[in-house]
């Protein structure tokens, strides 16, 4: 069961709830996922089973793609429609001819104020825990990056969008910031994660499909697309964690034997590599 499964998470369930269902389905304890989604968010979860959980640090999460929808004229305590309303205002008309210019203004480095309903820690405690106690914590702006942003005016109240962004970008904050640039209050009303790196939700399976055995596991190498693989014959070296010599240019390599991924090795000096993590 050293496998990777792509799940299309539905709404009204936590990422932890998805994992709990999969644990029961596969009758296995060791299971994890890349990138938590809020209960009301939908979309891609990359789930690692058994020893595949060791691959978590190596999965490419540099870019994430989301589809979202925002509503104008309202702002909430959480930045989304599921929070308490803290302000309402008149909706200022949005110029259709100007919406592409607004979207393009976000492209590149983008500073965000992290929301209070985030998992960022302050003095050992997560911000959302303070938020539950109605305690506001001072936060510093954080640098993120927007690679692509497309916006579409759906009606006088709602705008839909699709964004390709760096890891750590809060789409709810992006929605509020879009509102500011068009002189409106705004809050997120829907969020779907379309992709993590090169892995698309189109390849994922619903929980019902998985429960009914209508699914396939993904090839592990696909989620390690940017990594370097080296076939190595003396497996005793690998199983015993010995340093090895390789003629490689990459500082990190995945050691394989007969197409089985055995370990991750890092360069120590010149041609000498040391075992960073065993994967067998």
pLDDT of 132: 76
Going from N- to C-terminal start, the domains of the chain cover: 4-59+198-223, 63-196, 229-278
Q: Using 50, 70 and 90 to split pLDDT, how confident is the model at 134?
A: confident
- Asked if the domains at 4-59+198-223 and 229-278 fall in one CATH topology, the answer is no
Q: Which residues of 113-130 are buried (b: 16+ CB within 10 A; e: fewer)?
A: ebbbbbebeeeeeebeeb
CATH of 229-278, one of 2.40.50.180, 2.30.130.10, 3.40.50.1820, 3.40.50.2020: 2.30.130.10
Q: Using 50, 70 and 90 to split pLDDT, how confident is the model at 185?
A: very high
Q: Using 50, 70 and 90 to split pLDDT, how confident is the model at 113?
A: confident
Q: What is the mean pLDDT of residues 47-51?
A: 94
Distance, in Å, from the CA atom of 271 to the CA atom of 100, rounded to the nearest integer, reads 50
**Is 38 a known active-site residue?**
yes
Catalytic choice (12, 38, 95, 208): 38
Q: Which of the 8 DSSP states describes residue 90?
A: P
Beta strand ranges found along 30-79 (DSSP E): 31-34, 42-49, 63-72, 74-76
Integer-rounded Cα radius of gyration of the chain: 22
**Model pTM?**
0.91
Q: What is the mean pLDDT of residues 201-206?
A: 98
Question: Which residues contact residue 12 at a Cβ distance below 8 angstroms, ignoring those fewer than 6 apart?
Answer: 39, 40
CA contacts within 13 A on the Cβ side of 144 = 25
Q: What is the CATH number of domain 63-196?
A: 3.30.2350.10
Q: Please tell me the CATH superfamily of domain 4-59+198-223, with its number.
A: Pseudouridine synthase (3.30.2350.10)
CB of 161 closer than 8 Å to CB of 150: yes
Distance, in Å, from the CA atom of 251 to the CA atom of 180, rounded to the nearest integer, reads 44
pLDDT of 131: 73
Distance, in Å, from the CA atom of 280 to the CA atom of 271, rounded to the nearest integer, reads 23
């Amino acid at each position: 069961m050293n496998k990777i499964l792509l799940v299309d998470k539905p709404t009204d369930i936590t990422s932890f709830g998805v994992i709990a269902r999969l644990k029961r389905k596969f009758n296995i304890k060791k299971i994890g996922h890349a990138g938590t989604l809020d209960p009301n968010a939908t979309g891609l979860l990359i789930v690692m089973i058994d020893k595949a959980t060791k691959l978590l640090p190596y999965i490419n999460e540099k870019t994430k793609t989301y589809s979202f929808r925002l509503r104008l004229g309202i702002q909430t305590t959480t930045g989304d429609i599921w929070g308490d309303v803290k302000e309402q205002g008149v909706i200022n008309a949005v110029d259709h001819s100007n919406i592409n210019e607004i979207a393009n203004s976000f492209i590149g480095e983008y500073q965000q104020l992290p929301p209070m309903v985030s998992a960022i820690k302050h003095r050992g405690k997560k911000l959302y825990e303070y938020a539950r106690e109605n305690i506001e914590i001072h936060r510093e702006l954080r640098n993120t990056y927007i690679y692509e942003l497309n916006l579409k005016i759906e009606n006088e109240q709602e705008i839909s969008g699709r964004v390709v962004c760096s890891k750590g970008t809060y789409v709810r904050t992006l929605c509020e910031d879009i509102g500011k640039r068009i002189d409106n209050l705004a809050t997120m009303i829907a969020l779907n994660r379309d992709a993590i790196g090169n892995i698309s939700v189109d390849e994922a399976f619903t929980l019902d499909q998985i429960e009914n055995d209508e699914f396939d596991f993904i090839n592990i190498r696909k989620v390690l697309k940017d990594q370097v693989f080296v076939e190595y014959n003396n497996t005793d070296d690998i199983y015993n964690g010995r340093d090895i010599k390789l003629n490689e240019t990459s500082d990190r390599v995945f050691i394989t034997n007969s197409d089985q991924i055995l370990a991750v090795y890092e360069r120590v000096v010149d041609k000498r590599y040391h075992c960073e993590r065993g994967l067998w």
